[in-house]
Amino acid sequence: MNMNTIKLNQRGVLTLPKNIRDAFGLKTGEILVVSKEDNRIVLERQQSDKDLLRDIQHSLRDIKQGKFIEFGSVGEFKKKLKTYGEN
């Protein structure tokens, strides 16, 4: 894993290294969601309306083709999901 070091500037401003921006195709003005997971800071690209629409269209297509899992509880879902992942 390539490690980059960045400095926290005034008002908490960070600059992501160019190689990281390029690797993820990040553009100026793009919105990132920041969260805390355990002892880590996580940045994720906020899904655009266009991306969301595409994902919904794919999901509807899958449902029409019968590609879905039915379940009655979280435990049943986890069991089926594990079995589904093995196929």
Task: Report CA-CA distances (Å) from 78 to 62, 67, 68, 86, 87.
Answer: 20, 17, 14, 13, 15
Q: How high is the pLDDT of residue 64?
A: 94
Q: How high is the pLDDT of residue 84?
A: 76
Q: What pLDDT tens digit does each residue of the chain (87 aa) get?
A: 567 889 999 999 999 999 999 999 998 888 899 999 999 999 998 877 787 888 899 999 999 999 888 889 999 988 888 887 665
Cα–Cα distance for residue pair 53/60, rounded to 1 Å: 11
Q: pTM of the full predicted structure? A: 0.50
For the record, the structure tokens of 36 come out as 């805390």
Q: How high is the pLDDT of residue 86?
A: 61
